[in-house]
Structure formats: C-alpha cells, structure tokens
Amino acid sequence: MPEFGACMILKCTNLTVEFRTNGDRVSALAGVEFQTGEHEFLSIVGPTGCGKTTLLRTLAGIVRPQAGTVDYLHAGKSPGPVLLVFQEQNLFPWMTVLENATFGLKMSGVPEIERNRMALELLARFHLTGREQAYPKELSLGMKQRVAIIRAFLSNPAILLMDEPFAALDFQTRLMLQDELLSLWAKTRSPVVFVTHDIDEAIRLSDRILVLSHQPGRVIAEHCVPFSRPRSLGVTTQAAFVELKKRIAEQLGLPPWAEGTG
C-alpha cells in the first residue's frame, strides 16, 4: 500500500458553472464555496439534477467554471494525482484485472514485481483472487468497481473524487463495498470527495457532509458526522444517526422515512 503522506487541501471559492442547452443558458452551480480538511472524507448530497456530478467534474478539471476558482493547496513533498472514480466503472477493456489495478503504479515508474505485489495484496483483500488475468467483460459490476477503487488507491492520489461509485449496485454488494472502501481509506487516508444520492451512505462513510440545493446547486448546509471510526453497519441504528438523517432529508425536502435523496 502507498504510505500515508502528503495530500492536498481543495478550496472552492464562489464556483459558478453554466451550460448552453438549445440556445438557453442553464445555471448548474452558483457560488459554491467549501474547503476540505487534511485526510478528510467529505460527502456531497443533493437532489437529482442539482449539479453534484458537475461539481465533481469541475473539481477534476473536466468542466471549466464561468466564475470562481478551484485551488489545490499542499505543503511539503509533491503529492500524487487528483483522481476521479465514476459511477460507471472506467477500466481499460483490453487490460486484465491485474494490469488495470497496476496501471497508475506503472505510469509512476514502479517496477513490475513491486507493483504486482502491491496489487495482488489488495485483490486478495477485495475477494478477487483467481480473477487477476480476467478481463473487465468477464466481471460483475461489483467486481469492476472493486478493481477501479483498488487502482485509484494504488495510484496514491493526493485527493480522490468519487462520483456515486456504488449507485448501480445491489444493496448487499453496496454495503460490502462501503466496508471495503472504509478499510482501504483507513490505510492511506487520502482525502476523498464523495458524491452520493444516498443519505445513509453519506453518514456512514463521511467525516463531514455538504448539502446542495436544487439547481443551481449551492451549499445550503454542512454537517459534521459525530461517530468515531471504525464504523460498522450497526451505526445506522443509533438514535444520533437517525436524527442526522432526518435533518438532512428535511433540508432536501424529503420525507423523513426516505432512503436517499433521489
């Protein structure tokens, strides 16, 4: 595993993003401001269409804002890359599981024996032993997302941006991957900005949660998650968990019994 070391602090200032659709100007984000903490797991929730994915793509440099800035601040040794993990897995179809998992290490010049050793350790932990030479088309969706997450963490990112990576998975697989993600993150503590439509997922994973408004997306609330780590699934039954979920649901205009944010 990469060592727990240098990382970035991400700072958003007055971020505004607009698109042209059929000649009309559509405002996706308006005046978004926040800053991540060192080694923080930050989740962003909001209604469908509020600009969550647009925000993440702007942070990654894929979308250019009309106003405002995204700054990546770091001190000490040069940190790793900024990486984005999509909802749809983005493995290279012509590469095996092992080749996909070690791609970032290869690009960083890590020798083949060492990068394979590091990847095989994680593939075993993520229940992918025996699949090392398989191609993405031979894997289930859950397996593909495991490989994508392993590749991201092995690349030793300065900050990891995750766009609803578990949204398309069944409930059981989703809970399993949440546990695996938390276990892996605890080893590296790379800062994470995690977009999700699921309030339970956000609370279970995060140190802090930002709530976005309806389009154009603005930060309308911020919640520090009060639970210590490591966290098991049992945290979801605690009264403080239920109360926090209720507050976030109300801020999103949802009934308190809602499972997520749409």
3-class SS letters over 74-134 = CCCCCCCCEEEECCCCCCCCCCCHHHHHCHHHHHCCCCHHHHHHHHHHHHHHCCCCCCCCC
Cβ neighbour number for residue 225 with a 10 Å cutoff: 21
Nearest in space to 223 (alpha carbons), one of 21, 86, 56, 34: 34
Q: Determine the pLDDT at residue 257.
A: 55
Asked if 53 and 215 count as a contact pair (C-beta separation under 8 A), the reply is no
Ramachandran angles phi, psi of 213, nearest 5°: -80, 175
Q: Is pLDDT of 13 > 90?
A: yes
Nearest in space to 69 (alpha carbons), one of 41, 32, 39, 44: 32
pLDDT tens digits for 159-206? 889 998 888 888 888 888 888 888 888 888 888 999 999 999 999 999
pLDDT tens digits for 85-102? 876 667 899 999 999 999
Instruction: From the options 3.40.50.2000, 3.30.930.10, 3.40.50.300, 3.90.1720.10, give the CATH code of 9-80+157-251.
Output: 3.40.50.300
β-pairing verdict for 159-163 and 67-73: unpaired
Asked if 212 and 200 count as a contact pair (C-beta separation under 8 A), the reply is no
Domain boundaries, the chain: 9-80+157-251
Q: What global pTM score does this model have?
A: 0.87
Q: What is the DSSP letter of 205?
A: H
Distance of CA 211 to the CA centre of its chain: 15
Buried b (16+ CB within 10 A) or exposed e, 28-66: bbbebebebeeebbbbbbbbeebbbbbbbbbbbeebebe
Q: Is pLDDT of 259 > 70?
A: no
pLDDT tens digits for 49-65? 888 999 999 998 889 99
Q: Determine the pLDDT at residue 6.
A: 53
Q: Determine the pLDDT at residue 262.
A: 43
